[in-house]
Amino acid sequence: MRCANCGHFSLAVICKICKDHLLDSPARTRVLDGDFKIYSFFDYSEVKNLLHSKHLFHGSFIYGALANLSFKIFARKFSFGSPVNAVPIDDKTTSGYSHTAILARALKSTEIRPLYSCLHADSNVSYHGKDLAFRLKNPRNFKLLKTPKFPVILIDDIVTTGTTIDEARRTLQKAGCEVLFALTLADARY
């Protein structure tokens, strides 16, 4: 088997050298209007090739490995003092799995409880490669299928302009939910 990142021989999806390199990545913070924070674990430029596996069969293994290098470590260190729901954004199953559900599952801990099939987009418009104007013209139109019992951490794979996360946050807030912050694998600014 080969490392999905560098191509060197590895029994793991991502080899030890690449894992160590990714673990050294600085976490990034993006602030949206109203002081809402989005925390990202990797620079998009570092993991772009890995993230492009999203719609392929082996993408579930790659997303699982990335989740273990980021979200799982975060969950071990996170302390809020009371239960929190991790809500994956639009966790519909495509290509045999949901990439955001994989990320949310890695957060499962004594305090963090993933809540699946909670927030789905009514629009199937793809934002891949689209600019801010297109994203603002074509909202996701999120529907809340379940109401979280606890404060929420939003989960997504990439933050590009922040419009998807902001729309998801506003949808939850309209339903009376407290949204603490968002976690993503990568920030497209870097």
| Domain chopping of the chain, boundaries | 16-187
For 159, the enclosing helix (H) or strand (E) is: strand 152-159
40 with 159: CB under 8 angstroms?
Answer: yes
Note the pLDDT tens digit of each residue in 53-83.
Answer: 988 888 999 999 999 999 999 999 999 999 9
Q: 130 versus 187: which is more confidently predicted?
A: 187
Does pLDDT of 127 surpass 70?
Answer: no
Does pLDDT of 132 surpass 90?
Answer: no
Note the pLDDT tens digit of each residue in 178-187.
Answer: 999 999 999 9
- CATH, range 16-187: 3.40.50
For residue 42, the number of C-alpha atoms closer than 13 Å in the C-beta half-sphere is: 26
pTM: 0.90
27 with 40: CB under 8 angstroms?
Answer: yes
